[in-house]
Amino acid sequence: MIPPGSTIGIFGGGQLGRMTALAAAAMGYHTHVYCPASDSPAFHVSSAYTQAEYTDEKALSAFAKAVDVVTFEFENVPAGAIEFLARSVPVRPRGEILHISQNRLREKSFASAHGVKTAPFVEVKDLKSDVDVIGMPCILKTAELGYDGKGQIFIEDKIPDIEISFSSILESFVPFQTEVSSIVARSPDGTMMGFPTVENVHEKGILRTTYAPARVDKRIALEAERLTRHLAEKLDLVGLLTVEYFVTQTGELLFNEMAPRPHNSGHWSLDGCVTSQFEQLIRAICGLPLGSTRLHTPTVMENLLGDECLSSERYLDDPNIKLHLYAKEAIKQGRKMGHLNRLESFVVKPVTT
């Protein structure tokens, strides 16, 4: 066990790192955030921080000596940096899991190899030939670095005349009913605790709203939790695993993406659950008993994008709304500046199967 009073190193200084640092502080831990960006929101709430490139071995060495365990808030960390840290300090989740989740081809291949269904996909070698194999409509995606709908091209009836100079994946388009996500925590001794499955609504590729619990048939929700537990076990995960699934027209679950960290679709847990995803991450990586994931209040999470944060004070008069702002300096269109949790009952209309 890594006891309270120890220092948790957090790779990445965004809003996920910020909320993880806040949860750690509430449990009596110190935090040390490592991030290249000078305007990192997590810097404001951490005990210490290092602003340096992920390739700076001198800074990495000093960081490793200052912390008792390392976790991360996003996947796009150079594998070499994780390997360097792991020589002298525990990294949870381990670097091999990060490596799998950094690449859509690797993560879908992993899911498929362990019995979790995905949409048909191929690694792009020759786009025309690959489209012939997958069929239209389909989606061309970068294998790495894509998020919030970035790095994707929808191919409906005509193959685009483009030169592909990066690793890419071609997936069959799934006419799904909805998307759900499931989060599971796993401790060093293999103990697991899953959060209730939630339902996600996107706008222009960006998560806009999450419904907790998911407005789907209970069978679908429980199957999502089972599959996520299965993948967490096969990964030998210590920490959190989030998996997004498509719910098809026939009620089947298809693996979409996974993230071995806290996730935007888990923000509802800050106010609607006994234990938030951030507190659960701290418990898992430090070897503490996992907390209850009982949903005590149905919650609707809504992201505040761009300049929507400028009028956020209007929500403060509503006793059923909890407001969370990330203190980001630059406001950009589509950028996640905060979120709100509406603690309310909503009509659950199950997706038909």
Residue, of 159 and 284, whose pLDDT is higher? 284
Average pLDDT, the chain: 94
Answer yes or no: is pLDDT of 151 > 80.
no
Token reading at 296: 């005590």
In a domain, 106, yes or no: no
Classify residue 136: in a domain, yes or no: yes
In a domain, residue 113? The reply is: no
Does the pLDDT at position 41 exceed 90?
Answer: yes
> Does residue 114 form part of some domain?
no
Within a domain: residue 302?
Answer: yes
Structure tokens at 334: 């589509």
Q: Indicate whether 352 pLDDT > 70.
A: no
147 closest CA partner among 323, 14, 294, 340 = 14
The boundaries of the domain holding residue 53 are: 7-91
Look at residue 347 and tell me whether its pLDDT is greater than 90: no
Task: Check whether residue 158 and residue 282 sit in a common domain.
Answer: no
Contact yes or no for 192/239 (Cβ under 8 A): no
pLDDT at 337 over 60: yes
Question: Residue 132 contacts by C-beta under 8 Å, 6 or more apart in sequence?
Answer: none
> Which of 49, 76, 91 is a domain's end point?
91
Give the pLDDT mean for 91-99: 95
The number of angstroms, rounded, from the C-alpha of 123 to the middle of its chain's C-alpha atoms is 23
Clarify whether residues 198 and 317 are in a common domain: yes
- Same domain? 194 vs 276: yes
Assess whether 33 and 155 both reside in one domain.
no
pLDDT at position 306 over 70:
yes
Q: Which residue has the higher pLDDT, 345 or 223?
A: 223
pLDDT at 252: 95
Predicted TM-score (pTM) of this structure: 0.93
111 occurs within a structural domain: no
Measured distance CA(273)–CA(346) in Å, rounded: 16
- Say how many domains are in the chain: 3
pLDDT at 346 over 70: no
Which whole number is the average pLDDT over 40-49?
97
CATH code where residue 67 lies: 3.40.50.20
Q: What is the pLDDT confidence band of residue 75, given thresholds at 50, 70 and 90?
A: confident
Neighbour-count burial of 253, counting CB atoms closer than 10 A to its CB (0-12 exposed, 13-18 middle, 19+ buried): buried
Is 248 within the bounds of a domain? yes
Distance CA 251, CA 244 (A): 15
User: Rg of the Cα trace of the chain?
Assistant: 20
pLDDT digits (tens, 9 = 90+) for 122-147: 999 999 999 999 999 999 999 987 66
Q: What is the CATH number of the domain that holds 187?
A: 3.30.470.20
Please tell me whether residues 164 and 205 are part of one structural domain.
no
Q: How far is CA 91 from the centre of its chain?
A: 17
Domain boundary among 109, 138, 172: 172
Q: Copy the structure tokens of residue 209.
A: 């709203």
**pLDDT recorded at residue 157:** 85
Predicted pLDDT of residue 350 = 56
Q: Are residues 39 and 130 in the same domain?
A: no
Burial profile 163-199: b = 16 or more Cβ within 10 angstroms, e = fewer: eeeeebbbbbebebbbbbbbbbbbbbeeebbbbbbbb
Per-residue pLDDT, 253 = 97
DSSP letters, 22-34, are: HHHHHTT-EEEEE
Residue-wise pLDDT for 80-94, tens only, equals 899 999 999 999 999
Asked if residue 101 is part of any domain, the answer here is: no
* 313 confidence band (pLDDT: 50, 70, 90): confident
Same domain, 200 and 298: yes
The alpha carbon of 338 is separated from its chain's Cα centroid by a whole number of angstroms, namely: 16
The Cα 24–Cα 216 span in angstroms is: 33
For residues 203 and 155, membership in a common domain is answered with: no
Find the mean pLDDT for residues 288-301. Answer: 97
Residues 330 and 252 occupy one common structural domain: yes
pLDDT of 49 reads: 98
Is 39 in the same domain as 57? yes
pLDDT tens sequence across 221-239: 999 999 999 999 999 999 9
One domain, residues 220 and 326: yes
Judgement on whether residues 185 and 165 belong to the same structural domain of the protein? no
Q: For position 76, what pLDDT does the model report?
A: 84
Q: What is the pLDDT of residue 79?
A: 85
Max intra-chain CA distance, the chain: 59
